Structure 1
Amino acid sequence: MSIPHNPVLLQEVLQSFSVPLVVENGGILIDCTVGYGGHSKALLEKYPKLRIIGIDQDEGAIAYTFNHLKDFKDRFEVKLGRFSEVLPNIWRDDIVGILADIGVSSVQFDDKQRGFCFDSHLLDMRMNPHHTLSAKEIVNTYSLPQLERIFRDFGEIREWKKLAHLIVDFRKQEKIVCASALSGLIAKHFKNTKIHPATLAFQALRIEVNDELGELERMLKFLQEKSFQKGARVGIISFHSLEDRIVKTAFKGWERSCICPKEVMKCVCGNNYKKGKNLYKKPLSATKEEIKNNPRSRSAKLRVFEFGN
């Protein structure tokens, strides 16, 4: 059975967790976005002592991965739910790795029944179909200021006011019920020579629907408050600047020894808060060969933090 989703930066992920805690001692790694099991399977194959707990909120992905990795049932288990909710319930002292591949999988994006793609007859975008908020509800019920906020903050769209007004004016005459209608409306009034004109608007809607940035921030806050063994690592793959900025800021903060406010003239915190270091000075990105084989990897960035001074 082939994996329906190509895991990005696979070799970079394998190399990033090649530490004694994983290779020799066989600790536990949490794959916070296990998806269709691409990263987890490769890690389990390369490191025979490693155990993995996978988390995902997509029931379809969970079912597939549970079956796909059945040969590793003694070293692999999977949990259904948001990683910010599951992590506190499964936390253990022998966790030596955290991996999170943030974003939509190719399977979700290409499945027209999920309402992520531009030509879908649905407008949904829920990673967990059981959640109540959908993209259709947002575009048809959010107020003008609410739409402006998500297009400005989550899409970083230059003409966010124009886009929000366009949607509000259009829905007065006709409800927007499918992704193809929305993408067509946007393409009619906006031009972009590099990407589809609706790309950033769809990104903003998807982030709002799934609270993606909030999930990431909650996970990082949880990890910040935990104690890790020396050598344990956290690796996060992001796909756009909003996510990467959050990860970069968090990791930079974890490197700080002094956490006093900038306005304080003299350190009063004890100057002993450094948790470790960024493993790489700059995030790892896909090679030309990987981008050629998987164009969606072109925007992927991997940042890795290693605990221990």
Structure 2
Amino acid sequence: MEIPHISVLLEQVLESFDTQEVQKGGVLLDCTLGFGGHSCALLEAYPNLEIIGIDQDKDALAFSMQRLKKFGNRICFRDGRYSAIVKELLSDKNLKQRIVGILADIGVSSMQFDNKERGFCFDSPNLDMRMDQMRQESAKEIVNHYKLNDLERIFRDFGEIREYKKLARLIVEQRKIEKFDSAKSLSELIARHFKHPKIHPATQAFQALRIAVNDELGELERLLQCLSENPLNKGARVSIISFHSLEDRLVKQYFKEWEKDCICDSSVIRCVCGKKHRKGKNLYKKPLCADEKELKENPRSRSAKLRSFEFRG
């Protein structure tokens, strides 16, 4: 099969799950199966491992079912949003006992970017950006119908755009003349009014819209909150690949909280919680990033960061 997507940080992912628990066998949840690259490598590297692959993109699921069928019943597939499915799976006590790892690659695949019909790229004739194409609201609805202050909030909070007010105002003024019907028309408007020395001027705006359309930060936080309330068994690990500071900051904050023994409020003079709340350890002081070889082979890996946490049960 022709593989339409290069999985980032593949060696680092394999390293992060190189544990006795994984080698002995157990279940790993791949929250963002995509086109199966990480799951394929993990199943090949660890012959006793089983995987439950989750994705909301039906095209990706169909491709991965075909690609990974050689592994037989060592892999099964779930269609939907990973936060809800992981919560459901962890509620099964028998299954939870067997879970040795959780992987989440929080990003858009190369195939989604390169397929102009999906509306993720700057020159797309569509303005969509839905990972799950059954979702009702696309980027087109947001850009053409959201109020000014809602657009400002999206570009400020999800794109970290300094001139977010200017961008939102330009969009509102332009859509009074003509509605946006393509990603190309939006990116051209942004390029006319903004400049950036290193990236396309519309990069941060498109990121912000994509996050809003797919509720990406909400999904990630719901997963992390689920693990806060229902930690994995001793030795199990969670590895998360992020692609921008908003995601990475969220993962870093949760891992830091999970390492704390004491959860008393800072205003408390003396600890009253018992100092027995530590969930495990952060495996890497700094996130793992792509090496020079990977950067040459796959420039899109330049912003990928991997953080891993091991639970102590």
TM-score by length of 2: 0.97
| Misfit runs of 4+, over 6 Å | none
Matches of residues 122-201 of structure 1 in structure 2 within 5 Å? 122-201=126-205
Q: Structure 2 residue aligned with 1:114, among 118, 121, 124?
A: 118
Matches of residues 1-309 of structure 1 in structure 2 within 5 Å? 1-23=1-23, 25-91=24-90, 92-93=95-96, 94-308=98-312
CA distance in 1, matches of 2:66, 2:232: 31
CA displacement at 1:229 relative to structure 2? 2.1
CA displacement at 1:129 relative to structure 2? 0.4
After superposition, the C-alpha distances for 1:105-139 in whole angstroms (9 at most, x for unaligned) are 01001101100000000000000000011000001
SS at match of 2:189: helix
Structure 2 residue runs without a partner (length 5+): none
CA distance in 1, matches of 2:111, 2:250: 26
After superposition, the C-alpha distances for 1:44-94 in whole angstroms (9 at most, x for unaligned) are 001000000000000000011011000112200110000011112223221
CA distance in 1, matches of 2:267, 2:231: 29
CA displacement at 1:265 relative to structure 2? 1.1
CA displacement at 1:226 relative to structure 2? 1.5
Q: Which amino acid aligns with 1:35?
A: G
CA displacement at 1:269 relative to structure 2? 1.3
SS at match of 1:172: helix
TM-score by length of 1: 0.98
After superposition, the C-alpha distances for 1:258-284 in whole angstroms (9 at most, x for unaligned) are 111111111111210001110011000
CA distance in 1, matches of 2:63, 2:195: 39
CA distance in 1, matches of 2:3, 2:25: 25
CA distance in 1, matches of 2:144, 2:267: 46
- RMSD of the alignment, in Å? 0.8
Q: Which amino acid aligns with 1:260?
A: C
SS at match of 1:305: strand
Identity of aligned residues (%): 64
After superposition, the C-alpha distances for 1:284-303 in whole angstroms (9 at most, x for unaligned) are 00001101100000000000
Q: Which amino acid aligns with 1:147?
A: L
CA distance in 2, matches of 1:137, 1:118: 17
Q: Which amino acid aligns with 2:7?
A: P
SS at match of 2:149: helix
CA distance in 1, matches of 2:61, 2:80: 10
Q: Which amino acid aligns with 1:54?
A: G
Structure 1 residue runs without a partner (length 5+): none
CA distance in 2, matches of 1:217, 1:227: 15
